[in-house]
Structure 1
């Protein structure tokens, strides 16, 4: 719910008001089902071709895949690009959002195609929300398994004497919060796949294997992140302290193999926007609420394009 509202305000200065309503109208379930179907269909070339054909020729597939948040986002983006301005800021300030920046870029940059503005906003809003939910599930699930970590985060937040609400610049100075979030993303990265790279002319040799030119290659973040040679013998465990080691070489090696935001040369362009949202969300919740989190660890994470961790329930009681 918070992700939908936060992304809507940052992208369009407009909220879905799901936090006010107390629910997301089933958007997360429909979104998860969409990614699961695409994962299954993607295992077969015939099924993939059929699926792509149906998407091009009938609106039924897109309708079945569209959750309420996606429908709201599409309508809001279309309205903004056809002349409707942003909503007035609830704080009485001049409204500023990414849609306005992109529209200005479109007007000034000759190589920028008009359709790119709408596409960028939709991709940011849809993909951003899915990955924010996945990361939040991992973060709070692992706090359920490690209440001592939750206690250390709360202690760090209280000692820091943060603004209310906390500023992002303040949260960047909290090493244990940062390590706890990064460790949650390492253990259960939001994406089970990365963006593929195409082998250039002449081919390439990767770990002793020759890969012909034109081959699409990728690295699975979930597998890479659990390599004990990189992350230690306890790579299967949630341990934020691994990121706080004094061994600079070890820390550099882990960072080089941390693929939650994509590969080195092409990281996720929404990384800093996502970090702003999740750091402010997690800090605000832990500063003001006493969460009671339960995680049924017997339920295995569901491997699809978007990582889903079932069996997580949380109750947030005001302090």
Structure 2
């Protein structure tokens, strides 16, 4: 731990008393973590997706607090207020997904230092679901895991997949790993896209909640992924797909209107996860925890029930 970090509590709308801290990962990057709530039923480690940041999960932390849980949220390296790899802050870049596991290790060290209540649970969205699955494969001390639209595969046209693998592998070898992946750039999706036909949520109020945050604090924003990130993500998804499901009790929430992640690997994984359950949310887009009130209530009720049963 390296000291107090900013937390934009007015925009996050999390439980009272939230605080943020700077952490230093073992390989050097400074990341940001936030603690919300003082629930005695356990601690939920909330793993955000690509482009996301702590404040976006203030309302999720409030939902968990009302159900008796403490929440620990992270700004992964390369996003939010954490250290970024390049002068262009809008490029989302890592060279290997193992880097995120060093951030996980820093979070676990913080939880131990703060004496956060056990048992520990995971709540992972999108890219955070890929990081979270690897965390479970490592045998780290999590009693259960809830996933929202986990990135266990990346949605792309079939013809472009071989090209993406080649570009992702070769670009870093030629010093081009930091370049934006084809079809992406420095725009932040929630500021550039209209609410109509967006791929994240069908709830206009939650859409405005996200927009207000990055508009007020542009340093939280992120644009497209780098070629290096793309190659690393494809490698990690492929490696994890070849591994058997962990024994950890889990539930997966997936909207039937999902357009961001590849849903086939989710269905395939869940067919072999003995202690796992796949819940479909009719009409929901990518971000089930940011969806309509009925979807959000169902998701957090289901996650809390899972966490309580596993604890």
Query: Fold-level match, TM-score > 0.5?
Result: no
- Give the TM-score, by structure 1 length: 0.25
TM-score, with structure 2 as normaliser: 0.26
Which is richer in strand? Answer: 2
Structure of larger gyration radius: 1
